[in-house]
Chains A and B, each alone.
Chain A
Amino acid sequence: MARLGWVSLSPALAPPGSVEGLELNTFPSLEALLEQPQGCDVVVLDGPPEAMGTAARRLRADHRYQLGLIYTSRAGDPWCAALCDGELPGDGAAIATAWQQWQERQPLFNRGQAPEGVDQSLLCWLWQRPGAAIQPVRDPGHAQIYRYPLVEAITADERLNSDGWLRQKEQENLLEGGDLIDRIRQCPACSSSRLNYVDVCPECHGLDIVRQPSLHCFVCGHVAPQQNFLKGDALVCPNCLSQLRHIGSDYDRPLENYRCRGCGAFFVDADVDVRCLDCCDVNQPNDLRVREIRSFRLSEAGALACRQGLGDNGAIGSYFRRLKLMDRGDFLKALDWQMAIARRYGRSSGSAIAALLGVRIENIEQLFVDVGEARATAMLEGLLERLQQIIRDTDRCMRGREDTLWLLLPHTSARGLDRVRERLQEGLERIQSSAGAAELSLKFVGCVLPEQIQDDENAALMLARLAGDLR
């Protein structure tokens, strides 16, 4: 039976007497819970929204509660949303079910090893909660305006730059950006978003500029600042000395210029300078760093890595590097390059320039349902090992969707492509004979450069065309 810790953050709130199906422990404060040597499996925070947010931050910073389920008794503030698992899902039975699912997923992470270090803890947090994301929270008091409370809490000891960490994991293809929440400008010097946009003199960049309206005398056509026209209560043209009585019939306002009180410059449009309120650095608006604020989810590659083991000190990249796995952008560049070479030299050289092979596992979802996650994982692992044997040092791979793999094979003709296909099929049969009844079915699509390039096609278009054939 799971231990449920009920923390009352306000003396006015009484905890429930019991929760069906769970061993209830009540605590009058967060300190009381943290002092308990024996941790609770599931924690419920009960109190005002802000107090729950603060408590959630402290809980996630504590090693014992970094990954566990934390619920709030009522709707909390944005910090609660970013750190907790939401409001109580219902009665004791619902909590028990959620706890059970959480427990079942835990041994699947990193081949059953407990997460070590900040990287693995964060990836494990996401792994334990399918579909969950690391959410940013707006905090106007913070120099960068948006913070990632979960990363900050879990990495509290290491003083990590949460934004930098997330970017790095995104580049490693472990995380992928979710919804775009905001786009902010940052000071290039200190990354602060507390910026002041001021209009300044374009000549001396002085701050002291004033709007100076000008008048146009209809009698003689004289145009000058309004100040020059004012004679006592009346407007008198300094050039022809006629009194200007009525706007529209005697005079009008042709322009509205600015004047710098510092250097006396006269100009139509002021420049805009951006002054950082934190480091006093002055920049042009175009020089500011633009940062997109997104939530982050576990990418498909990341989910695969979590399932198959993150390796030593998080060297998941090395595992993929052995497969020559590239991210989509790089792969497209490489393919574009091969296509360009094929177009230019393909006809004259007489030999094939390269070939592209798409492999799709048609029944991957069915497989997981039929034989269970562990067996299916083992089968996929076998397939990947086989693939590793087949591909040459010069070949490159890219994962399309979770069930699709793309191989770029330089110096490969149509015959070579068929050979690769046959060898993969052979390997598959060997895996299946050892696995018994279950069947892994593969579908292939191939394209040989330069023969099968279509006119005006680039790498992305070609991939899209071939992916259509794979469906």
Chain B
Amino acid sequence: MEPVLEQALNLPLLLEQLRGEDGLALLLLQLFPLFLVVELPLTLVVVLGVLRWWIREQTLPPRRSLYRPRVSCLITCYSEGADVRKTLETLCEQTYPGEIELIPVVDGAAANQHTLAAVRGFELREEWRRTRRVRPIAKWQRGGRVSSLNAGLSMSTGSIVMALDGDTSFDNTMVSAMVRHFEDPNVPAVAGSLRIRNTWTSLATALQAVEYLISIQMAKTGLSEWNLVNNISGAFGAFRREIIEQLGGWDTHSAEDLDITLRIKSYFGRHRQLRIPFEPRAIGHTDGPTSMVGLLKQRLRWDGDLLFLYARKHSGSIAPRLMGWPNFLMTVISGLFIQVVLPFIIVGYTAITAITLPWPTVLALSVLVYVVYLVVLSLQFLLMLLLVSERPQQDVKLLPILPLFPIAMLLIRCWSAVAILNELWRRSHEESSMAPWWVLRRATRF
């Protein structure tokens, strides 16, 4: 990998070589090793993991357990308004026979009166009263998502704590599917699967639906088999209470979900039996940004925060001694390399190709790259449909979107470079909308 990187960065030499007779061949030669070295192994890890999961699912006898701990759902609400009721209703509808404590925390309740009214007006049906309880918290002063979660944690009584978003609704088997994993004392947290709820609102949401299916539902299922889950989504994660208390709750700054995942993972080196499973049968449905601009804004935040966490806040904790070798490699390759370095390589490659090669060649090369990506994507999608998806009939309708997906991903990858530069120069994580400036100002700087 090192020589490839060095070569890629030695621009004058590279440009000279590309202008030569074997320019195209050289480019191909350099493109494909990159793809083979980085992306293909990762895809293989995922595919093998998915196959392993599928075989295990098919052969395991049905599970029956009397393990029914009380579950506290911390639902962070801000300006969702009446949508919060849908979230609360789907949580009450859970088939889980144990107790579920719903704690909707309305942040900035003084300004978000309509959300507060929706939470207060929510009434439990007669048949829910025995096992479901609603304890709303009104945080009058806005304090950000982290403060909502910590406030909810201090009021909750369940031994399993779920961090959920106010605009996310859930399938009725979610809690029982998630809680099952905690029966194993070595599980400190479980990641849940997210789907896009407003799939057919616009092209942007349809593309996100494909993205969530491939990169969350399928990828995490595969990674989970090797205990390599990269992130527990902030909109949907479950934690054992002791581990959260051990960690001192959620920490200020944006991307608190990746932060807490990395902090849990830094115990993996010392306690090798610990694992964070991903449950593909626990589904949350969330609303994605409906416009392309909205989507890009969201990614500007996410990808910027990524660099902040990997490179600034947790640079010290990404070490094999703390995380164990598999997770260390995974974080370096999928986190640092693919998500931080690769965008620049892609932008550079595209630029160099466009500058140095004649247009027909550029076009041919683009088509080649596109076809390769589309084939790999289609195979992944097929695998996802056949093995992982619990709603294959619904997901198969996304097939017409697939040809557009590689293009959208290229765009988003390029945009990641912008986001990372934004974080590098402007410390964009400090202007996050996830917490007010007066909170971020006082947070520890990294």
Chain A interfacial positions (CB closer than 8 Å to B): 211, 213, 230, 232-235, 243-248, 256
Contact = CB atoms under 8 A, between A and B. Distances in A.
Contacts of B64: 232
B171 interface: yes
Contacts of B90: 246-248
A33 to B, nearest CB: 58
Interface stretch (B172-180, B257-265, B291-299, B380-388): B172-180
Given A232-B62, A244-B172, A211 B93 contact: no
Contacts of A235: 95, 172
Given A245-B172, A247-B90, A234 B95 contact: yes
B96 A246 contact: no
Interface residues on B, range: 20 to 34
A108 B89 CA distance: 76
B181 interface: no
Contacts of A245: 171-173, 283, 390-391
A246 B172 CA distance: 6
A270 to B, nearest CB: 13
A235 B89 CA distance: 16
B427 interface: no
Contact of B127 (A211, A233, A243, A246): A211
A432 to B, nearest CB: 77
B383 to A, nearest CB: 21
Nearest to B92: A247
14 contacts: A233-B173, A233-B177, A234-B95, A234-B172, A234-B173, A244-B172, A245-B283, A245-B390, A245-B391, A246-B283, A247-B89, A247-B90, A247-B172, A248-B89
Nearest to A229: B95
B193 interface: no
Contact of B171 (A213, A232, A246, A256): A246
Interface string B95-129: 11000000000000000000000000000011100
B70 interface: no
Nearest to B94: A233
B135 interface: no
Contacts of B283: 245-246
Given A247-B89, A248-B89, A248-B169, 16 more contacts: A211-B126, A211-B127, A213-B125, A232-B62, A232-B64, A233-B177, A235-B172, A245-B172, A245-B173, A245-B390, A246-B171, A246-B172, A246-B285, A247-B90, A248-B90, A256-B125
A230 B127 CA distance: 15
Contacts of B133: none
Contacts of B95: 230, 233-235
A246 to B, nearest CB: 5
Nearest to A242: B393
Nearest to B90: A247
Contacts of A233: 95-96, 173, 176-177
B194 to A, nearest CB: 13
B86 interface: yes
Interface in B377-401: 390-391
Interface string B137-153: 00000000000000000
B179 to A, nearest CB: 10
Contacts of A244: 172
Q: Max chain B CB contacts within 10 Å: which of A233, A243, A244? A: A233
A256 B128 CA distance: 13
A143 to B, nearest CB: 33
A246 B394 CA distance: 14
A244 B390 CA distance: 11
Shortest beta-carbon contacts, A-B, top 5: A245-B171, A233-B176, A247-B93, A233-B95, A233-B173
A211 B90 CA distance: 20
B106 to A, nearest CB: 23
Contacts of A234: 95, 172-173
A399 B390 CA distance: 88
A127 B125 CA distance: 59
Q: Max chain B CB contacts within 10 Å: which of A243, A245, A246? A: A246
Q: Max chain A CB contacts within 10 Å: which of B64, B173, B283? A: B173
A233 B94 CA distance: 9
Contacts of B169: 246, 248
A246 B390 CA distance: 12
Contacts of A243: 390
Interface string B273-306: 0000000000101000000000000000000000
Contacts of A213: 125, 127
A232 B62 CA distance: 9
A256 B125 CA distance: 10
Interface string B232-273: 000000000000000000000000000000000000000000
A387 to B, nearest CB: 69
Contacts of B86: 248
A245 B169 CA distance: 11
Contacts of A232: 62, 64
A235 B169 CA distance: 17
A256 B62 CA distance: 32
A247 B95 CA distance: 12
A36 to B, nearest CB: 64
A220 to B, nearest CB: 15
Nearest to B64: A232
